[in-house]
Protein backbone atom coordinates (compact mmCIF):
# COMPACT_ATOMS: atom_id res chain seq x y z
CA UNK A 1 0.00 0.00 0.00
CA UNK A 2 1.00 3.62 -0.45
CA UNK A 3 1.84 5.67 2.63
CA UNK A 4 -1.54 7.41 2.48
CA UNK A 5 -3.35 4.08 2.19
CA UNK A 6 -1.45 2.75 5.20
CA UNK A 7 -2.54 5.75 7.27
CA UNK A 8 -6.15 5.45 6.13
CA UNK A 9 -6.19 1.75 7.00
CA UNK A 10 -4.70 2.47 10.43
CA UNK A 11 -7.30 5.15 11.17
CA UNK A 12 -10.10 2.81 10.07
CA UNK A 13 -8.90 0.03 12.40
CA UNK A 14 -8.67 2.39 15.37
CA UNK A 15 -12.08 3.91 14.69
CA UNK A 16 -13.68 0.49 14.42
CA UNK A 17 -12.01 -0.53 17.68
CA UNK A 18 -13.19 2.64 19.40
CA UNK A 19 -16.77 2.06 18.23
CA UNK A 20 -16.59 -1.48 19.59
CA UNK A 21 -15.25 -0.23 22.92
CA UNK A 22 -18.14 2.21 23.22
CA UNK A 23 -20.56 -0.69 22.79
CA UNK A 24 -18.85 -2.68 25.55
CA UNK A 25 -18.32 -0.04 28.23
CA UNK A 26 -20.17 2.73 29.96
CA UNK A 27 -18.87 5.96 28.51
CA UNK A 28 -18.52 9.57 29.51
CA UNK A 29 -17.61 11.50 26.37
CA UNK A 30 -16.16 14.98 25.90
CA UNK A 31 -15.34 15.54 29.56
CA UNK A 32 -13.34 18.80 29.79
CA UNK A 33 -9.98 18.93 31.53
CA UNK A 34 -9.33 22.57 30.59
CA UNK A 35 -10.90 25.59 28.96
CA UNK A 36 -9.72 24.97 25.37
CA UNK A 37 -11.95 23.45 22.70
CA UNK A 38 -9.54 20.56 22.25
CA UNK A 39 -9.08 19.90 25.96
CA UNK A 40 -11.49 17.00 26.29
CA UNK A 41 -11.27 13.35 27.26
CA UNK A 42 -13.43 10.25 26.95
CA UNK A 43 -13.86 7.80 29.81
CA UNK A 44 -14.54 4.07 29.30
CA UNK A 45 -15.91 2.41 32.44
CA UNK A 46 -16.48 -1.29 33.18
CA UNK A 47 -20.05 -2.36 33.82
CA UNK A 48 -19.40 -3.59 37.36
CA UNK A 49 -19.23 -1.54 40.54
CA UNK A 50 -16.68 -1.25 43.37
CA UNK A 51 -14.87 1.32 45.48
CA UNK A 52 -11.53 1.68 43.72
CA UNK A 53 -10.09 0.90 40.33
CA UNK A 54 -7.01 0.88 38.14
CA UNK A 55 -7.07 3.51 35.39
CA UNK A 56 -5.14 3.78 32.12
CA UNK A 57 -4.70 7.13 30.38
CA UNK A 58 -4.15 6.62 26.65
CA UNK A 59 -2.42 9.31 24.58
CA UNK A 60 -2.81 8.94 20.82
CA UNK A 61 -0.11 9.27 18.18
CA UNK A 62 -0.29 10.73 14.69
CA UNK A 63 3.00 12.66 14.42
CA UNK A 64 1.43 15.38 16.59
CA UNK A 65 -0.76 16.40 13.61
CA UNK A 66 -3.58 13.91 13.13
CA UNK A 67 -5.77 11.41 15.04
CA UNK A 68 -7.84 12.29 18.11
CA UNK A 69 -9.66 10.69 21.00
CA UNK A 70 -12.30 9.58 18.48
CA UNK A 71 -9.83 6.88 17.39
CA UNK A 72 -8.38 6.24 20.85
CA UNK A 73 -10.92 4.17 22.76
CA UNK A 74 -9.87 0.82 21.30
CA UNK A 75 -7.61 0.02 24.28
CA UNK A 76 -10.74 -0.23 26.43
CA UNK A 77 -11.83 -3.44 24.68
CA UNK A 78 -9.56 -5.74 26.74
CA UNK A 79 -9.18 -3.38 29.69
CA UNK A 80 -12.82 -3.05 30.74
CA UNK A 81 -13.09 -6.86 30.74
CA UNK A 82 -10.41 -6.80 33.46
CA UNK A 83 -12.21 -4.07 35.39
CA UNK A 84 -9.89 -1.28 34.27
CA UNK A 85 -11.07 2.22 33.37
CA UNK A 86 -9.55 3.77 30.23
CA UNK A 87 -9.32 7.51 29.59
CA UNK A 88 -8.61 8.67 26.01
CA UNK A 89 -7.11 12.16 25.89
CA UNK A 90 -7.45 14.80 23.20
CA UNK A 91 -4.95 17.60 22.65
CA UNK A 92 -4.59 20.35 20.07
CA UNK A 93 -2.64 18.83 17.19
CA UNK A 94 -0.54 20.93 14.81
CA UNK A 95 -0.86 23.39 13.25
CA UNK A 96 -3.39 24.64 15.82
CA UNK A 97 -1.30 23.37 18.69
CA UNK A 98 2.44 23.71 19.13
CA UNK A 99 4.70 21.30 21.04
CA UNK A 100 4.74 23.32 24.26
CA UNK A 101 0.95 23.46 24.28
CA UNK A 102 0.49 19.75 23.57
CA UNK A 103 2.85 18.79 26.38
CA UNK A 104 1.08 21.17 28.75
CA UNK A 105 -2.30 19.76 27.77
CA UNK A 106 -1.47 16.11 28.39
CA UNK A 107 0.09 17.01 31.74
CA UNK A 108 -3.04 18.94 32.74
CA UNK A 109 -5.23 16.05 31.62
CA UNK A 110 -3.44 13.79 34.10
CA UNK A 111 -3.85 16.37 36.86
CA UNK A 112 -7.56 16.64 36.08
CA UNK A 113 -8.06 12.86 36.20
CA UNK A 114 -6.39 12.39 39.57
CA UNK A 115 -8.16 15.40 41.10
CA UNK A 116 -11.60 14.25 39.98
CA UNK A 117 -11.13 10.55 40.61
CA UNK A 118 -9.20 10.27 43.86
CA UNK A 119 -10.32 6.65 44.35
CA UNK A 120 -7.94 5.40 41.64
CA UNK A 121 -5.98 2.48 43.08
CA UNK A 122 -3.44 2.39 40.25
CA UNK A 123 -2.64 4.97 37.55
CA UNK A 124 -0.99 3.94 34.28
CA UNK A 125 -0.03 5.71 31.07
CA UNK A 126 0.00 4.34 27.54
CA UNK A 127 1.03 6.18 24.40
CA UNK A 128 1.84 5.27 20.83
CA UNK A 129 4.32 7.08 18.54
CA UNK A 130 3.86 10.81 19.26
CA UNK A 131 1.67 9.71 22.15
CA UNK A 132 4.58 7.74 23.62
CA UNK A 133 6.65 10.93 23.45
CA UNK A 134 3.91 12.85 25.26
CA UNK A 135 3.53 10.10 27.87
CA UNK A 136 7.28 10.23 28.49
CA UNK A 137 6.99 14.00 28.92
CA UNK A 138 4.30 13.41 31.54
CA UNK A 139 6.75 11.19 33.42
CA UNK A 140 9.31 14.03 33.26
CA UNK A 141 7.00 16.69 34.70
CA UNK A 142 7.95 19.09 37.47
CA UNK A 143 4.70 18.62 39.39
CA UNK A 144 5.40 21.41 41.89
CA UNK A 145 3.77 23.93 39.56
CA UNK A 146 0.58 21.83 39.48
CA UNK A 147 0.23 21.49 43.27
CA UNK A 148 -0.20 17.75 42.92
CA UNK A 149 2.09 14.73 42.56
CA UNK A 150 0.51 11.88 40.60
CA UNK A 151 1.56 8.41 41.69
CA UNK A 152 2.03 6.83 38.25
CA UNK A 153 2.49 3.09 38.72
CA UNK A 154 3.42 2.23 35.15
CA UNK A 155 3.94 3.62 31.66
CA UNK A 156 3.67 1.77 28.36
CA UNK A 157 5.62 3.62 25.66
CA UNK A 158 4.97 2.09 22.23
CA UNK A 159 7.09 3.00 19.17
CA UNK A 160 7.91 6.43 20.49
CA UNK A 161 10.22 9.35 19.75
CA UNK A 162 12.25 10.58 22.71
CA UNK A 163 14.65 13.04 21.08
CA UNK A 164 12.99 15.69 18.90
CA UNK A 165 16.17 17.20 17.46
CA UNK A 166 16.34 14.80 14.45
CA UNK A 167 12.81 15.88 13.48
CA UNK A 168 13.71 19.55 13.00
CA UNK A 169 14.94 19.14 9.44
CA UNK A 170 12.13 16.81 8.30
CA UNK A 171 8.68 17.37 6.82
CA UNK A 172 7.17 16.41 10.18
CA UNK A 173 8.35 19.72 11.62
CA UNK A 174 6.66 21.83 8.94
CA UNK A 175 3.34 22.15 10.82
CA UNK A 176 5.04 21.99 14.23
CA UNK A 177 7.52 24.81 13.52
CA UNK A 178 9.79 23.73 16.36
CA UNK A 179 13.00 25.58 17.02
CA UNK A 180 16.02 23.82 18.52
CA UNK A 181 15.19 25.34 21.91
CA UNK A 182 11.63 24.01 21.79
CA UNK A 183 12.85 20.57 20.68
CA UNK A 184 15.38 20.31 23.51
CA UNK A 185 12.98 21.26 26.30
CA UNK A 186 10.39 18.80 24.98
CA UNK A 187 12.72 15.83 24.48
CA UNK A 188 12.30 13.16 27.20
CA UNK A 189 15.86 11.98 26.60
CA UNK A 190 17.06 15.38 27.86
CA UNK A 191 14.93 15.25 31.02
CA UNK A 192 16.09 12.07 32.75
CA UNK A 193 16.97 13.80 36.01
CA UNK A 194 13.45 15.23 36.28
CA UNK A 195 11.95 11.83 35.48
CA UNK A 196 13.91 10.30 38.36
CA UNK A 197 12.42 12.93 40.67
CA UNK A 198 8.82 12.76 39.48
CA UNK A 199 8.40 9.05 38.65
CA UNK A 200 11.05 7.13 40.62
CA UNK A 201 8.89 4.04 41.25
CA UNK A 202 7.14 3.87 37.89
CA UNK A 203 7.58 0.66 35.89
CA UNK A 204 8.32 1.77 32.33
CA UNK A 205 7.98 -0.50 29.31
CA UNK A 206 9.63 0.75 26.11
CA UNK A 207 8.16 -1.23 23.22
CA UNK A 208 9.21 -1.10 19.57
CA UNK A 209 8.06 -2.99 16.49
CA UNK A 210 10.42 -5.35 14.71
CA UNK A 211 9.64 -3.56 11.45
CA UNK A 212 9.67 -0.03 12.82
CA UNK A 213 11.94 2.38 10.96
CA UNK A 214 15.58 2.56 12.12
CA UNK A 215 14.98 5.95 13.77
CA UNK A 216 12.13 4.64 15.94
CA UNK A 217 14.10 1.51 16.80
CA UNK A 218 17.29 3.38 17.66
CA UNK A 219 15.49 6.00 19.73
CA UNK A 220 13.62 3.32 21.68
CA UNK A 221 16.82 1.43 22.39
CA UNK A 222 18.76 4.54 23.39
CA UNK A 223 15.96 5.79 25.66
CA UNK A 224 15.68 2.38 27.29
CA UNK A 225 19.43 2.29 27.93
CA UNK A 226 19.40 5.80 29.40
CA UNK A 227 16.51 4.93 31.73
CA UNK A 228 18.22 1.74 32.84
CA UNK A 229 21.53 3.50 33.47
CA UNK A 230 19.64 6.06 35.56
CA UNK A 231 18.53 3.26 37.85
CA UNK A 232 14.87 3.33 36.82
CA UNK A 233 12.59 0.30 36.61
CA UNK A 234 12.45 -0.22 32.84
CA UNK A 235 12.12 -3.10 30.41
CA UNK A 236 12.27 -3.15 26.61
CA UNK A 237 10.09 -5.18 24.29
CA UNK A 238 11.16 -5.72 20.68
CA UNK A 239 7.90 -7.11 19.32
CA UNK A 240 8.35 -9.58 16.45
CA UNK A 241 6.21 -9.57 13.29
CA UNK A 242 4.87 -6.07 13.88
CA UNK A 243 5.19 -2.67 12.24
CA UNK A 244 4.70 0.88 13.46
CA UNK A 245 0.92 0.62 13.17
CA UNK A 246 -0.18 -2.91 14.02
CA UNK A 247 1.99 -2.96 17.15
CA UNK A 248 -0.64 -0.74 18.77
CA UNK A 249 -3.66 -1.94 16.78
CA UNK A 250 -3.26 -5.42 18.24
CA UNK A 251 -3.57 -4.12 21.79
CA UNK A 252 -7.34 -4.38 21.45
CA UNK A 253 -6.74 -8.16 21.67
CA UNK A 254 -6.51 -9.38 25.25
CA UNK A 255 -4.27 -12.30 24.23
CA UNK A 256 -1.74 -10.13 22.38
CA UNK A 257 1.80 -10.15 23.77
CA UNK A 258 1.89 -6.46 24.74
CA UNK A 259 -1.61 -6.53 26.23
CA UNK A 260 -0.60 -9.44 28.41
CA UNK A 261 2.49 -7.55 29.57
CA UNK A 262 0.28 -4.58 30.43
CA UNK A 263 -1.96 -6.82 32.50
CA UNK A 264 1.09 -8.22 34.28
CA UNK A 265 2.28 -4.69 35.02
CA UNK A 266 -1.04 -3.96 36.71
CA UNK A 267 -0.76 -7.10 38.83
CA UNK A 268 -3.82 -8.82 40.15
CA UNK A 269 -7.14 -8.22 38.49
CA UNK A 270 -8.34 -4.86 39.84
CA UNK A 271 -11.88 -4.13 40.92
CA UNK A 272 -14.08 -1.84 38.89
CA UNK A 273 -16.71 0.76 39.68
CA UNK A 274 -19.74 2.27 38.03
CA UNK A 275 -20.22 5.42 36.01
CA UNK A 276 -21.89 7.06 39.00
CA UNK A 277 -18.40 7.65 40.41
CA UNK A 278 -17.67 10.06 37.57
CA UNK A 279 -19.00 13.52 36.81
CA UNK A 280 -21.70 13.00 34.19
CA UNK A 281 -22.62 16.64 33.68
CA UNK A 282 -20.36 17.06 30.66
CA UNK A 283 -21.08 13.79 28.86
Based on the structure, what is the number of domains in the chain? 1
Task: For the full predicted model, state whether its pTM sits above 0.85.
Answer: yes
3-state secondary structure (DSSP) of residue 3: helix
Q: Does 253 map to a domain?
A: yes
Q: Does 274 map to a domain?
A: no
Q: Does 111 map to a domain?
A: yes
| 283 catalytically annotated | no
Q: Which residue has the higher pLDDT, 118 or 173?
A: 173
Q: Does 278 map to a domain?
A: no
pLDDT at 202: 95
Average of per-residue pLDDT across 170-197: 96
The dihedrals phi and psi of 209, each to the nearest 5 degrees, come to -80, 145
Contact predicate 83/271, CB 8 Å: yes
Average of per-residue pLDDT across 152-162: 97
Average of per-residue pLDDT across 272-281: 38
Q: Does 104 map to a domain?
A: yes
pLDDT band at 278 (very low <50, low <70, confident <90, very high): very low
Q: What is the pLDDT of residues 122-150, one digit of tens each?
A: 999 999 999 999 999 999 999 998 988 89
User: DSSP letter at 93?
Assistant: -
| 133 catalytically annotated | no
Q: Is 169 exposed, middle or buried (0-12, 13-18, 19+ CB in 10 A)?
A: exposed
Q: What is the pLDDT of residues 37-71, one digit of tens each?
A: 999 999 999 987 566 789 999 999 999 999 999 99
pLDDT band at 268 (very low <50, low <70, confident <90, very high): very low
Q: Does 189 map to a domain?
A: yes
10, 109, 244, 277: which is the annotated catalytic residue?
Answer: 244
Q: Does 276 map to a domain?
A: no
109, 212, 220, 277: which is the annotated catalytic residue?
Answer: 212
pLDDT at 267: 82
Contact predicate 30/252, CB 8 Å: no
Q: What is the CATH number of the domain that holds 35?
A: 3.40.50.1820
Q: What is the pLDDT of residues 65-95, one digit of tens each?
A: 999 999 999 999 999 999 999 999 999 999 9
Contact predicate 192/227, CB 8 Å: yes
Residue 283: pLDDT over 60: no
Which is nearest to 230 in space by CA: 189, 196, 184? 196
Q: Does 95 map to a domain?
A: yes
> Which of 204-218, 230-244, 255-269 shows the lowest mean pLDDT across its residues?
255-269
72, 104, 129, 187: which is the annotated catalytic residue?
Answer: 129
Task: Give the range of the structural domain holding residue 27, as residue numbers without chain letter.
Answer: 3-266
| 90 catalytically annotated | no
pLDDT at 76: 98
pLDDT band at 226 (very low <50, low <70, confident <90, very high): very high
Amino acid sequence: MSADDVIRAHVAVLREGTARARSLAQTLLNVPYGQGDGEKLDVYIPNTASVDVSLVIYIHGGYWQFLSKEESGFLAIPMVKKGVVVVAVDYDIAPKGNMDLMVSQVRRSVVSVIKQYSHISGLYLCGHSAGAHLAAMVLSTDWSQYNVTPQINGAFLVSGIYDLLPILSTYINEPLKMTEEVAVRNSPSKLLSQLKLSSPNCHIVVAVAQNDSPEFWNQSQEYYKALRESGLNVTMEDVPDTDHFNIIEQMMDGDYHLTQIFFQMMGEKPRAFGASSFNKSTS
